Amino acid sequence: MSESIIRPSQRSLLGHDILLISVMAVLAGCGLIYEYLLSHYAGRVLGSVESAIYAMIGTMIVAMGIGAFLARWFKDAFTAFAWLESIIALVGMGCILAIASMIAISYSLPHMFSAIFNLPPDIVLNGYVFEKLQSAARFLPYVFGLLLGMLIGMEIPLIARIRQHVYGRFLENNAGTIYGADYIGAGIGAAIWVSVMLSMPIMQAAAWTALFNIVAGLVFLWRYHQHVRFARLLVFCHVLLLVLFAVLLLFGSHWMKDLSNVLYKDKVIYSQATKYQHIVLTERLRRNQPEPITDLYLNGRLQFSSVDEQIYHTMLVYPAMLASNRHERVLIIGGGDGLALRDVLKWPVEHVTLVDLDGQLLSLFGYQNERYSAPDSITERLSSLNNQALVDARVTVKVADAFLEVEQLLADEDYFDTIIVDLPDPNHPDLNKMYSDYFYNHLRQLLSADGAMVVQSTSPYHAKKAFVSIAKTIKAAGFDFVEQYQQNVPSFGQWGWTIATRKGASASNRIARVSQLPVPSRWASRDYLLAAFIFPNRFFEFHETIEVNQLGTGTLYDYYRQAWQTENELYKN
């Protein structure tokens, strides 16, 4: 049946309006959550979080405009809208799983072909065809973003036409009413995303969002079924969608974990999405290693490997502790794995304050927190790596945003002999502020006059400009002496750190005065540490052209992102 004109009573018009405007608000909220879901997942898959999110939002906005134009092709607005909701629910519910499946397949094919042709285990095919398949699979989030955007863009024109037919006349404020419901619904959707769904497994978030689409579609069918062609078929489709919703709610997260695990070369033993990041632990066995080698990945990036993390943490902790005149009070920013803390506790410290944002990560490594729990076998394994450092009586753990917590420490007039900043690389805009002149100035005020501060500073080989910018930013924050040093960590390659002192002498001069290490180390000696301060002759020749990372500029994030994009292009070529 086509769009016949309905002339209900004035009383029933209010009921129609409440239903149509409520449906529009619900769908607007669902549409915004789908946008966030795809943006969030695209950031994880594509690596460059900020650019992926902005590109996805831009893609979906343009697609919504295209969808609004395409809506005029449908003569029967009732039938088109009813089918539209079922299609949006199907695509929105299944797109994340489809993307993960395609990426997993594209990365598995080289190994499958290697096995088929019985190639040696250390040889994996990685030719042009496989690279293109992987690139195409990683581009899929934008394809689904374009499709979903077009479908969502059709909703407003169709429901506006339906409302006008309900009234049986032209409505002057029709567009304003529908857009008002759309904006309010989108705002509610944003609040739900931030407060509830951001901490959910992504498949559960997609399934629950699709459920609202399904329910809205069923309510619409119940009220206007006499104006919808193939209404019974649509009801059957919605029942199937409810079954699919139940299946994905029960098994979707497990399937996503299995598909994501394909991307890791070693066996995944733990995978969990927290409110702030996706945590993955892997293990592998080696004949010359009595214990399994454990690797930690955050958002797909390796954070440490148990086979050589001692090198990294020795280079992080020992120079700063040696350069500090006293060791009573130590502040660690980040370092939620407790490994830097483990090495700090080897020194004669009285109190250590550790500030980390992610309580779930801390609980994995042995921190006792009633809000979060982790499998006992995982916690035992990881807490043995850090020697149960997070439950040491000398340690205070603060689950907080360090950017804000540092201001509170200043207000409380806390001061520290050594400050260790063990944050992830500045690979996300949210982390950029933790590498800013503003933040380092606050840390300078917390540091004792005869103390030292050290900052993990990414790779001087792969991200040279970012590495140098960190030192210039610390210098701009008011430290008198700022130096950088480097060491090879097999899991990462060449890695770098920045060390600063407020007054007196530089860190390297202070270390040079030491005849032997007061706390023995398996890896380090005085000469070993001093040698790390030596760089190639022309390494800093472009120092003057590098900018300071001022708060709000994103300078360091841009340096870092550009460096790794160039690196990836070089590998491809």
d(CA 511, CA 315): 13
**Closest-CA residue to 343 (of 303, 365, 311, 381):** 311
Catalytic residue (choose from 182, 295, 358, 422)? 422
Could you tell me if 124 and 133 are in contact, meaning their C-beta atoms sit under 8 angstroms apart?
no
Q: Is 376 a catalytic residue?
A: no
277 annotated as a binding-site residue: yes
Per DSSP, helices labelled H in 47-127 are: 49-70, 77-116
Residue 356 belongs to what H/E stretch?
A: strand 351-356
392 annotated as a binding-site residue: no
61: number of Cβ within 10 Å = 13
303 annotated as a binding-site residue: no
Could you tell me if 88 and 213 are in contact, meaning their C-beta atoms sit under 8 angstroms apart?
yes
Burial per residue of 97-116, b for 16 or more beta-carbon CB atoms within 10 angstroms, e otherwise: bebbbbbbebbeebeeebee
73: number of Cβ within 10 Å = 8
Could you tell me if 466 and 426 are in contact, meaning their C-beta atoms sit under 8 angstroms apart?
yes
Looking up tokens 């130096």 gives: 483
Burial per residue of 419-454, b for 16 or more beta-carbon CB atoms within 10 angstroms, e otherwise: bbbbbbbbbbeebbbbbbbebbbbbbebbbebbbbb
The tokens describing 335, both together, are 């370092």
424 annotated as a binding-site residue: no
414 annotated as a binding-site residue: no
d(CA 347, CA 452): 15
| Phi, psi for 352 (deg, rounded to 5) | -125, 130
d(CA 45, CA 141): 9
337 annotated as a binding-site residue: yes
429 annotated as a binding-site residue: yes
d(CA 254, CA 413): 48
The strand pair at 301-305 and 293-298 is best described as antiparallel
Residue 11 belongs to what H/E stretch?
A: helix 10-46
d(CA 389, CA 362): 11
d(CA 221, CA 83): 10
**Dihedral of alpha carbons 324, 325, 326, 327, sign:** positive
Residues catalogued as catalytic: 422
List residues forming the annotated binding site for spermidine.
Answer: 313, 337
Annotated binding site: 277, 313, 337, 356, 401-402, 429
Binding site as annotated, residues for S-methyl-5'-thioadenosine: 277, 356, 401-402, 429
